[in-house]
Amino acid sequence: MAGADTSQRILDIAERLVQTRGFNGFSYADIARSLRVTKASLHYHFPAKAGLGKRLIERYEQNFLNALAAIDRGGGGARSKLDAYVAIYTAVLRNDRMCLCGMLAAEFATLPKPMREEMRRFFDENDRWLTVTLEHGRTTGELEFSGPALQVARTLVGLLEGAMMIARSYGEVGRFQAVAERALADLAA
């Protein structure tokens, strides 16, 4: 297997495993079995599971930031941007997965420190983007809410992450969508 391609395949499998089982719910043996390679070959690319975890979060965050940038480039008002933001979560849930960082947040106490810091950075970036979007919507009169936009952003992220967990436990994406739609409707001016 080629080096860069193998690293990406390892990350792809590890991401799926974290999103479905959690970080502590898989081992290198699980990845090796999926790739039909030895655990030693995995250690060549990612000597420690903590390094693999940190790289997973970095890649997930970059992909998420790219999706947010695409939403911004697409134009539209704050509400349409928030709808597109929720659609990212919905797509993950439709694949019977959870937000990678949401799953990791549940295991926060057992994660290595570098992973904790990366995970927090992911949520900070979500807060930042949502705060800008919410403030813009309030300024244009499209959205209405009381208090700081950052507080609303954090509430929205927490609500979506929690709604994902409960919807997944029922196997009902519609359950998540109903919660998300209600939250966004409450922001409409």
Residue-level pLDDT at 9: 95
Residue-level pLDDT at 1: 46
Q: Which residues pair with 143 in a beta bridge?
A: 188
Q: pTM for this structure?
A: 0.93
Using a CB cutoff of 8 Å and minimum separation of 24, what contacts does 179-183 make? Answer: 180/86, 180/89, 180/90, 183/156, 183/159
Burial class (CB in 10 A: 0-12, 13-18, 19+), 109: exposed
CB 121 within 8 A of CB 63: no
Q: What is the C-alpha separation between 143 and 184, in angstroms, rounded?
A: 9
The domains of the chain are located at 51-185
CB 125 within 8 A of CB 131: no
Residue-level pLDDT at 2: 53
pLDDT along the chain (189 residues), means of 10: 78 96 95 92 93 97 97 96 98 96 96 95 97 98 97 98 96 97 94
Name the fold adopted by 51-185: Tetracycline Repressor; domain 2 (1.10.357)
C-alpha dist (Å) from residue 126 to 29, 35, 160, 171: 33, 33, 12, 26
